[in-house]
Amino acid sequence: MAKTYYDQDVNWSVLEGKTVAIIGYGSQGHAHALNLKESGVNVVVGLYAGSKSKAKAEAHGLKVATVAEAVKQADITMVLIPDEKQADVYKEEIGPNLKKGSALAFAHGFNIHFKQIVPPEGVDVFMVAPKGPGHLVRRTFTEGSGVPAVFAVEKDETGKCFEIALAYARGVGSTRSGVLQTTFRDETEEDLFGEQCVLMGGVCQLMQTGFEVLVEAGYPPEMAYFECFHEMKLIVDLCYEGGMTKMRQSCSDTAEYGDYMIGPRIITEETKKEMKKVLKEIQDGTFARNWLLENRAAGRANFLAQRRLHKEHQIEQVGAQLRNMMPWLRDKKELEF
Ligand code: NAD
Ligand code: MG
Ligand code: MG
Ligand code: MG
Ligand code: MG
């Protein structure tokens, strides 16, 4: 089991009088910046000229500067821009302005692990990665709790990096629930595997395929949407609260029998073999290379076409209509940051 750290394990004084630059004001950025500020840390948000987020961050009471200016002031620079953009912004604006003895921080290990960013000597490198989207990091903090996180120390040049990482995790609220120590390598590989095979790649493909089978067999798309998509949340919520045991207790015995008998015919030994192959391609850098080439050499041609095709799928059209019948979802259409 990984060791877990809580509020009482934190030496908060390592952050006293320190300035944290939060680069980017998206999902994670807005949550880290606001939580740290309310924890008493001096925060400056670094944004590119003309960023739409500038007005938003200022309205939230935060100082805003260019990325270069924010980094120059910072004792800790947390990089919260999209992973595929980080290397370029680092090269132009972050790297040249990093103070010796300061720390460079990330919420995902991708760029450090795959050597897209190579920080200079004399700069600490750590990660604090909340295990949840930014709006949850923010909301739980305002409610007095926090989203659990993993943290890692990649390079400890000052002898203080471990304590700084833990204090940062407290500042965003995560040590209220517990933070686990990991490494950049493990976090990167596990995160990519989870989103590709289970959370997004696996789950989305499963829901869509089930929907297609029912529709192609002549069932109404609305019913197919309810069975294969809408009800997913109810099942996942029960699992989240009390494991698969609670979920199965809540469902009928007929459903539970089908779960045991049919599940292994859908996710087969073949699927497991393929997951292992996917993991290997994450570990050996094949996936990272493809994603970086897609961004740099291909101008995201394939990615953007895929995004359009998936948006046009019937399940998305039917879903949008049906969700209009659910008034309690009306406020939730837009992301909250
Ligand atoms: P995001 O896409 O929500 O936000 C990125 C922000 O960066 C936007 O505000 C954008 O305007 C800004 N930005 C883009 N280009 C910029 C530039 N050149 N200079 C300055 N700012 C720029 O990103 P996110 O999902 O918050 O991800 C940030 C990091 O957090 C990533 O490393 C990601 O892997 C990690 N992470 C995300 C989540 C999540 O649930 N979203 C969870 C854990 C870790
Ligand atoms: Mg996104
Ligand atoms: Mg990820
Ligand atoms: Mg049913
Ligand atoms: Mg039951």
Indicate whether 197 pLDDT > 90: yes
**27, 112, 136, 300: residue to mutate for ligand 1 pocket, most atoms within 8 A of CB:** 27
Ligand 1 atom closest to Cα of residue 81: 7
Ligand 1 lining (C-beta closer than 6 Å) = 23-29, 47-48, 51, 53, 67, 80-83, 85, 89, 107-108, 129-130, 133-134
**Binding residue per annotation — 13?**
no
* Cβ atoms of 9 and 176 closer than 8 Å: no
Kindly tell me the burial class for residue 12, based on how many C-beta atoms sit within 10 Å of its own C-beta (0-12, 13-18, 19 or more).
Answer: middle
Tell me the pLDDT of the chain averaged across its residues: 96
How far is residue 114 from each of residues 154, 284, 285, 291, measured CA to CA in Å? Answer: 13, 10, 7, 12
**pLDDT tens-digit readout, 9-64:** 999 999 999 999 999 999 999 999 999 999 999 999 999 989 999 999 999 999 99
For each of the domains in the chain, give its residue range(s) and CATH number, in order of start. 4-182 (3.40.50.720), 192-332 (no CATH)
| Spacing, Cα 192 to ligand 3 middle (Å) | 6
**pLDDT tens-digit readout, 223-278:** 999 999 999 999 999 999 999 999 999 999 999 999 999 999 999 999 999 999 99
Positions annotated as catalytic residues are: 108
pTM confidence score: 0.93
> And the tokens for 161?
């990096």
Q: How far is CA 317 from the centre of its chain?
A: 26
**pLDDT tens-digit readout, 30-40:** 999 999 999 99
**Binding residue per annotation — 121?**
no
Indicate whether 1 pLDDT > 80: no
**81, 84, 135: residue to mutate for ligand 1 pocket, most atoms within 8 A of CB:** 81
Residues 6+ apart with CB under 8 A from 15: 41, 164, 167, 168, 171
**Binding residue per annotation — 53?**
yes
Mean pLDDT of 218-225: 98
| Spacing, Cα 247 to ligand 1 middle (Å) | 34
**What value of ipTM does the predicted structure carry?**
0.94
Question: What is the predicted pLDDT for the residue at 2?
Answer: 83
> And the tokens for 210?
């089930």
Ligand nearest to the backbone CA of 200 = 3
Q: Which amino acid is at 294?
A: E
